[in-house]
Amino acid sequence: MKYLREFLLCLIVGGAPLAVFAFFHGSESMIDSFTSISPSDEVVLYLFSLFLIHCVLYGLNKFLLKRPSIAELVPTILKFTHDAGFAIHSIYRAAVGAIPTVLAIMAYQHNGYVPLKVLLLSVLFTSAGLVMCVFFSWMDDKTKPREPAYN
């Protein structure tokens, strides 16, 4: 069920905007738009490092930082790193939703024909991206800062 939920979110975040763009601007412009949503490797590495920083701080807090003086500051830091660290999840959602949308529009334009290589690569990248989206969703739930019950 988590895969279906994540796939639907991906289609909403990445697929629907491309479909709307293709409807109003044509498929050639849509392909240009699709290629432009891909961030550079440096941006992806930066966002992934933010995610890793959050995971390290979460682990330190969970297993090492239990002193009261530190405990007061940690929730604020974890909330901030959580919000920044999971920005990469949106990139994966946009890409995973965009790939099947582009594939469907391409198939529609060519009377259902999509080259086998394109189809297989699309399925591979969409599946791998979906696994990453589910992982990020799980990590999001697992490491989300909790509000104390006594507030």
Dist CA 138 CA 56 (whole Å): 16
Is 11 strand, coil or helix? helix
Domain assignment present for residue 149? The answer is: no
| Structural domain boundaries enclosing 17 | 2-143
Ranked by mean pLDDT, the top range of 31-45, 62-76, 93-107 is: 93-107
pLDDT at 144: 84
Quick check: pTM over 0.75? Answer: yes
**Res. 79: pLDDT tops 90:** no
Identify whether 148 is part of a domain.
no
Instruction: Report how far residue 74's alpha carbon sits from residue 149's, in angstroms, rounded to the nearest whole number.
Output: 16
Region of 57 on the Ramachandran plot (φ > 0 left; ψ -120 to 50 alpha; else beta):
alpha
Answer with the residue of higher pLDDT: 68 or 22: 22
- Check pLDDT > 80 for residue 2: yes
Structure tokens at 5: 């939920």
Residue 151, domain member (yes or no): no
Whole-angstrom distance, CA of residue 85 vs CA of residue 90: 11
